[in-house]
Each structure stands twice: as structure tokens, then as C-alpha cells.
Amino acid sequence: MTIEYAHRIAEAAGLNIDLDCEGIDLQDKLYGLFQYFMPDGVGARAVFTPPQNGSELQASIMPIYAGTAQQTREAFD
């Protein structure tokens, strides 16, 4: 994962995290990323824009948001 891609993901998720450190593990910084797009998956498209097969990856995860949206809203309330 490039630092530019990590910045794009963090911005899309509305995360305010420091990604400009030398030697950090970006996977640790972005753990639980897809929870930030709950309940509806709005904004998740930005995560899948750079990869070549991004549309297919996004299509595979969107049903999870649809299937858990109501329970997530109830938990957030």
C-alpha cells in the first residue's frame, strides 16, 4: 500500500490519523477501516478506486453493508 493510497482511504473514511511517520505499518493504522463506512457503505468507493479490479471488490463488499445496515443503525442509536 502506498502512502498516497493510505491518505485517500483515510480521507474517504473521515479519519484523522497521522500517516506521515517513517516505518509505520499502514495496516495497523487502517485496521477496521470498513467499519467507518457503516451503516450504508457510503464513501467506501474511494477505497476501491485505485485497484484494477476495484469495481469487483466493491461489489463483493456492498451486500455486507446492506445486510447489516439496520442492526448497525440500531447499535449506533
Q: Is 61 exposed, middle or buried (0-12, 13-18, 19+ CB in 10 A)?
A: middle
Alpha helices in 14-53 (DSSP H): 26-29, 45-48
* pLDDT single digits (tens) 32-67: 778 878 888 888 877 777 666 777 878 888 888 888
Average pLDDT of span 11-21: 74
At residue 24 the predicted structure's pLDDT band, cuts being 50, 70 and 90, is low
Q: Where are the domains of the chain?
A: 3-76
For the entire predicted model, the pTM comes to 0.44
